[in-house]
Structure formats: C-alpha cells, structure tokens
Amino acid sequence: MELRPLPAAGSWTHGGARVGFEVLFVGEGRLRGRTAAREGEASWYVGYEVVVGGDWATESVVAVSSTVAGEREVVLERGAGDRWTVDGVARPELDGCRDVDFESSAVTNTLPVHRIPFVPGTTFDVPAAFVQADDLSVIRLEQRYTLMRSDEDRHVFHYESATFDFECELTFDASGLVLDYPGIAVRDR
C-alpha cells in the first residue's frame, strides 16, 4: 500500500456520536489539531500535538482539554522498549503500544496506517495509548486493522476495538487520512 504525503491541513465534521469540528495542521514530524464538540450533555475542546519519529511511531504527545469543569493538560512520552509515561509517571499497562489515539479525533487513526506495511487481507493488532476526551485520562486501547482493499485514491480497513466492542469500515484517502469514520466523522477538506 503506497501513501502520498500528508497535506498541510485537513478538517472533519464530527457527527453521529457527537457534533463538532476538527482541524489538523501537519508539520515535519508533527500533527497539531483541535477538536470542539458536544457529546450528549457534555461539551469539550481538545487541542493536541503529536510528535512522531521517522517510522511514524508516536514519540510524545501534549494534549489540553477544556470543559465546564476547567482545563487539564496531559503529557505522554514513549521511550525505549515502547514504555510509556503519562505526566512523568510510568504506565506499564501501556507497554508495547507504539501509537496514541484520541477519543476526540479522527486523525490519530493515520498513525498505524503510515507505520505498518499493510497488504490486502493482512490483519495487525495495534494497541494504543488512548486519551479520553472529557478528562484526558489515558487507558490501553486494544484495536485491530485489516486492509480490505486499496487503490491509488482510497484505502479501506476493517477496524475493530475489543476495548469498546466496536467495529466498522474506515475509509482513508491516498495520504492515509480518514475520509469516513462511520458514526464519528467525515473529512470535509
């Protein structure tokens, strides 16, 4: 599966599970984004910066969340042996994760898509450090990606999360950014 370079910016309209909007700015080894949304009675804003290495594995993350309860910041770092710290505290339950995933974002699904040499029919377990939107708490997310089909314009994956008992088909563009995340977000630019 060949991917084109990421565009300098992108945006998504969130709908279904929540109503909101997300923007992304891409720099050398950095993904910076902002999501503002309402989910049920809760409203939140999450800003993030993800630093990735040349292999697209997450190196560090800074996220800030604002809710009616106030503002919170969290810092995640992945070190040697894929060992993680959250706000400087070792989190052994995250060991082995190479990616971060944000509940608030459609963007972070691009990380394993860029990192793993997918071919149609292959399945990869891709656990991630999952940052929840409302309070920025971090849990281990068990997830699996299977490339269903791929051409020069689109890549379609079967996505499964055992953590949330959820599955769907994720459609990515030629650069590996989500075009359609059913019930979550649709790319509009």
Domain-wise residue ranges, the chain = 9-187
Residue pair 127/141 in contact (Cβ under 8 Å)? The answer is yes
Residue pair 115/30 in contact (Cβ under 8 Å)? The answer is no
What is the distance, to the nearest Å, from the Cα of residue 43 to the centroid of all Cα atoms in its chain? 20
Rounded to 5 degrees, φ, ψ at 81 are: 70, 20
As a whole number of angstroms, the distance between CA 44 and CA 126 comes to 27
Question: Measuring CA to CA, how many Å separate 3 from each of 73, 115, 154?
Answer: 33, 11, 10
Q: What is the pLDDT of residues 2-22, one digit of tens each?
A: 899 999 999 999 999 899 999
Q: What is the pLDDT of residues 7-66, one digit of tens each?
A: 999 999 999 989 999 999 999 999 999 999 999 999 999 999 999 999 999 999 999 999
In the chain, DSSP finds a helix count (H) and a strand count (E) of 1, 17
As a whole number of angstroms, the distance between CA 144 and CA 106 comes to 16
pTM score, two decimals? 0.95
Amino acid at 26: V
The Cβ of residue 36 has, within 10 Å, a number of other Cβ atoms equal to 17
Report the SS3 class of residue 93.
helix
Q: Average the pLDDT over 100-111 and give the result.
A: 96
Q: What is the pLDDT of residues 134-178, one digit of tens each?
A: 899 999 999 999 999 999 999 999 999 999 999 999 999 999 999
